[in-house]
Amino acid sequence: MSSTSQKHKDFVAEPMGEKPVNALAGIGEVLGKRLEEKSFDKAYVVLGQFLVLKKDEELFRDWLKDTCSANTKQQDGEITTEKATHFNS
């Protein structure tokens, strides 16, 4: 299982396209499954949610906690990835 930072590097190395949520840094199998259950099946959907929350990290964290009971570390990984994706791509 790749580390969060490795996952992050892999994710931002190219456009996310149709990558699944599992590819997001900080989102492992369990979380990924929870997200998919809520129909957040692709990484870009989660990015969309980040944008709908006005790119507010605090809100995004709350949403992650709410939706899939992500812990802080996972949230951090998520946020970093989203920000990198959005701002660098």
Partner 1 sequence: MSSLRSKTVKEMSDLLDEYEIKHGPVVDSTRSLYERKLKEAMAKGKKAKPSPDQTYYREEEEVTYEYRTPDRSDGAGDSGSYIRSRPACSEREFKHETSYSNYSRPKPEYGGKEFSDESHMYDLPPTSKSPYLKSTPGPPKEAPKALPSSRLVPLWVQFVFFVAVAVFLYLVFSSMETK
Please count the other Cβ atoms lying within 10 Å of the Cβ belonging to residue 17: 9
Cβ-based nearer residue to partner 1, 4 or 43: 43
CA separation for the pair 31, 3 (Å, rounded): 15
User: How many C-alpha atoms does 1 have within 13 Å on its Cβ side?
Assistant: 8
| Touching partner 1, residues 67-86 (CB under 8 A) | 67
Cβ-based nearer residue to partner 1, 37 or 62: 62
> Which position has the token pair 């997200």?
35
| Touching partner 1, residues 38-67 (CB under 8 A) | 49, 52-54, 56, 58-59, 62-63, 66-67
By rule CB under 8 A, what count of residues binds partner 1?
11
